[in-house]
Each structure stands twice: as structure tokens, then as C-alpha cells.
Amino acid sequence: MTFEDLRRGGKTTFKVNYEFPNAKKVLDKKIDVPGYKKQVKLVVYETKEKLDYKRNSPLNIAGILIKTGGSILDNSLFKFENDSAGSYFYGECISEEIDDILRSEDSSILQMGRSGIDWSNEYAQLLMKTIERAIEPLIEEKKKELAKKKKTELTKENQKLFNELSKLFNDIFKEELGDEGKTDLDIEDVFEEKVFIKPEVMNLLPKNSRTACFYAHENIVKKQGELVKIYAVRQKILVLDEKIYLERHKKYSNMFIGKFKIKGLNIGDEDVIEAALGDEKALCEVKVKEELGKKPRGPPKPSKQGNITGFDYDLDPNPNQRAYHNIKNGKIVIFTQFPGVSNYVGEDLKEIKTDMGRMLLCEIVCEAMFRRIAKEQMKKGEAVIFGESDADAYQNLINDLQKKHLNKVYNLVMNYDFESKEE
């Protein structure tokens, strides 16, 4: 590389070298992106040492480079960016489809400042999910390898506090992102080559109707046609639309959708709705209740909407952050080996009864939860965004969530009486 001083006339030459990490190739294949003809080529390497990775940093070594034939557009670890095991992988994904999109003068796949991929774009979302599915087995295997220290179970008294925190966080999540039971198509569903109804379970008020959606992959529609027949197995629910015709989904071109209505009759009635597209069938459970909104007792289960199922700790000796929300099992994981954390909450979270332990616990779990909500809000485009970049918008959303909900968490944790809660 040569720099020339045009004013003084001098030249300075530097030799630029890049030494690749010590790594082995663990993946090299072409993969389909649902709904698009052109495959992407994905190459992934696994390293012995942990690589640098920080969200939105241009200096990252870990991560998957998103490339076209002529340029590098982005670098990301996607949903694994907060997972310590993800920082042991780097590679590239070459997409000719992005090249075609840009050549057609459609720049919506890029951020406004052309600083990277706009991951809310339809193709970008499908590409992201395709890559995540391909590298997830590699990262899960790495996580098992890194789990060297033996963990102890959380104490019963601490577990009760965490149960209360889970309930509070689920209420916050619901308030910010909406309730479960939506009929919208999730990005994960685009990969399902089968028929299904959303929501899978419906609660109705007596004499009231509700809309459900039937979905089918285009490969099934080509074989079975577009006519769907719907009926109630026990005849205790009234089906208002017994026949519907599917239409291509407006956002996901490889999926078809059809809407139908059902009506509840008597309180306590239970039934199963069956929808048939040729030989393919989908089911939906329906109950008629006096009032909606009451949830069954017991621990919450993880869902695509993001339920918090509990808390756990991780003894990774070199974590990237203090905590994160594990979408797969629904738990908020606290990395107790992060500098300064174990000093106040303990290596196994047994010191959270102290004032300092309580305060740090609040700070850490809110950090993880609000990051997750902010990401979902940006992904769905439901947030009003101010700032010069995605990073600014992301931080602004987190700040707003802190102002709105932080006191609720502090009030619960700081005033929690461990003694009175013991059995």
C-alpha cells in the first residue's frame, strides 16, 4: 500500500499482511434459500482461540461475511452474537441473489447509509435464518465442549425469586411486543414444508367469532390445489367459512395463506378444527371460555414470542457479555465469570441476597431482557426510531425500556423477602 503526499511529493509504502486465525474448515456447501432459485455458498471455519466480536464493530474477526460476487456487505453472528461459543467461528456466505437485487436498482436490502444489510428485508430475513440453521449444530457442539466446570443447582429460595422475575419479565414482554396467539407468519414457518393453522390453540368467548389462518408451502399447493375444506370434529364449534381458497402470501412468496372464521357456542365446549388441503391436514384446538386472559398454572414454556422460562448461570471463563436471553430454552443466562460479576452475586448466584448483589442482579437481567425486546422491536419495525444509524436506534430503544420498566424490577428484587418466601 502506497501513500503519496501530493503537496510535498513524497511517497510512503507499507506492506499489508493479514494472518488468518488457526482454524479448520467445518462447513463448505451450497444451501437453498426458501422461495428463491439461486443457492448461497456457505463456508465456515472453527478456531481454537476465541475471536474478537462486538455488535456493529467493523473490526470483528468472528462472524459470517455476507458477500456478493464483487463486494463484502456485512459481517454478523446473527442470533449467536451474544453466545460465547459463536466467537469461535468465522466464514463467508456468497449470495448471487443479492447481486441480482442490487443490479435491478432495488437498494432496499441495504441500510440507508449503505453501511450493511437491512435485516428487515424479506430476502435478508430468509438468508439470516438459512445461515443460522446451518451453523447452529456447530455452535451447539462447541458449547458442550466449553462446558468444563461442573455447575450446582440454584437454591430453592433463589429459584422462587427468579420465578417472580420470570412472571414480571413476561408481562413486560407482552406489553411491549403483544400477546401470544397471533395469526402472523413467523420467519421460522417459511422453512416448514407442511400445512398448519395459526394460532394452534384458540380460546373463544361464547357467541363470539375469531379469525384463524391456514398456511401451506407452495410445493404442497402445486400438488394439492388451492381449495381448503374446514370442519369441527365434534361439531361443538361453528365453522363460518367451510371452504376457502388460498392466495400467495404478500411477504413470503413461497407460502400460501387462507383466512377462516369460527364461532364459540357454549361455555366449556372444546373441539378440534380440521382443515384439509387435498391429502394434507392441519389441526387447531379450540376452547370456549367465560373470560379470556387467564393463564394455566405452572412454569411458562418457551415460544417464538419470547417467554422467559427462568434463569441460569454459565461458568464460561471468557464471556462476551454479562447476560443474554437464550431464545432456544427461554432462559436468561448470567455469565458469572465476567469481570466483577461473581464478586457480588457469587459464582453460582448464591450471593444475591446482599444489597450489592440485588442491585447488580437487577442491572444484569434488565440489560439482557431489554436488549432482546429492542432487537424484536427493530426487527418488526414497530418502534419509532431516532438516530443516525441502527446502533443509535438500538441504544435509544434500550434507554426507553429502562426508563419505562427498570423501577418495576428494582422494586421486586430490592424488596424481596427471602425468609418469608421459604417453605
173 and 198 inside one domain: no
Residue of higher predicted confidence among 202 and 29: 29
Tell me: the pLDDT tens digits for 63-74?
999 998 778 999
350 and 255 inside one domain: no
Asked if the model's pLDDT at residue 42 lies above 60, the reply is: yes
173 and 311 inside one domain: yes
Residue 4, domain member (yes or no): no
Query: What pLDDT was estimated at residue 421?
Result: 46
223 and 169 inside one domain: no
Query: What pLDDT was estimated at residue 295?
Result: 47
Q: How far is it, in rounded angstroms, from Cα 154 to Cα 423?
A: 16
87 and 23 inside one domain: yes
Query: What pLDDT was estimated at residue 180?
Result: 43
The three grid cell numbers given for residue 56, joined into one nine-digit string: 456493529
Query: What pLDDT was estimated at residue 146?
Result: 78
141 and 124 inside one domain: yes
CA Rg value for the chain: 25
Residue 298, domain member (yes or no): no
Q: How far is it, in rounded angstroms, from Cα 87 to Cα 91?
A: 11
Q: How far is it, in rounded angstroms, from Cα 188 to Cα 365?
A: 27
Residue of higher predicted confidence among 50 and 381: 50
247 and 386 inside one domain: no
Residue 294, domain member (yes or no): no
Over residues 377-404, mean pLDDT: 74
Residue 225, domain member (yes or no): yes
Percent of the chain past pLDDT 90, that is, above it, reads: 44
98 and 121 inside one domain: yes
Residue 5, domain member (yes or no): no
132 band by pLDDT with thresholds 50, 70 and 90: very high
155 band by pLDDT with thresholds 50, 70 and 90: confident
Over residues 297-306, mean pLDDT: 47
Query: What pLDDT was estimated at residue 84?
Result: 80
270 and 344 inside one domain: no
307 and 371 inside one domain: yes
Q: How far is it, in rounded angstroms, from Cα 276 to Cα 196?
A: 10
Query: What pLDDT was estimated at residue 299?
Result: 47
Average pLDDT of the chain is 85
DSSP for 215-244, please give it.
EEEHHHHHHH-SEEEEEESSS-SEES-SEE
210 and 174 inside one domain: no
Q: Which amino acid is at 92?
A: E
**Boundaries of domain holding 350:** 156-178+303-414
Residue 10, domain member (yes or no): no
Query: What pLDDT was estimated at residue 422?
Result: 46
Residue of higher predicted confidence among 238 and 18: 238
Cβ-Cβ contacts under 8 Å for 373 (sequence gap 6 or more): 172, 173, 176, 177, 306, 397, 401
Of 229, 261, 288, the domain-final residue: 288
Residue 297, domain member (yes or no): no
Asked if the model's pLDDT at residue 231 lies above 60, the reply is: yes
Of 288, 311, 334, the domain-final residue: 288
* Closest to 93 in 3D by CA, of 131, 150, 136: 131
Domains of the chain: total: 3
Q: Are 103 and 156 within 8 A, CB to CB?
A: no
The half-sphere exposure of 248 on its side-chain side, counting CA atoms within 13 A, is 9
What are the angstrom distances between the C-alpha of 325 and each of 34, 179, 321? 27, 19, 11
pTM, whole model, 2 decimals?
0.57
Q: Are 61 and 53 within 8 A, CB to CB?
A: yes
Sequence-separated contacts (24+) of 236-242 with Cβ below 8 Å: 236/265, 236/266, 236/269, 236/270, 236/271, 236/288, 237/204, 237/262, 237/263, 237/264, 237/265, 237/269, 237/271, 237/273, 237/286, 237/288, 238/262, 238/263, 238/264, 238/265, 239/273, 240/209
The three grid cell numbers given for residue 195, joined into one nine-digit string: 400445512
Range with lowest mean pLDDT among 3-7, 343-347, 399-403: 3-7
Over residues 33-37, mean pLDDT: 89
Cβ-Cβ contacts under 8 Å for 398 (sequence gap 6 or more): 370, 371, 374
Q: Are 99 and 68 within 8 A, CB to CB?
A: yes
CA–CA–CA angle 378, 380, 383 (5° rounding): 50
Range with lowest mean pLDDT among 81-95, 127-141, 220-234, 305-319: 305-319
Residue 274, domain member (yes or no): yes
Query: What pLDDT was estimated at residue 184?
Result: 64
241 and 273 inside one domain: yes
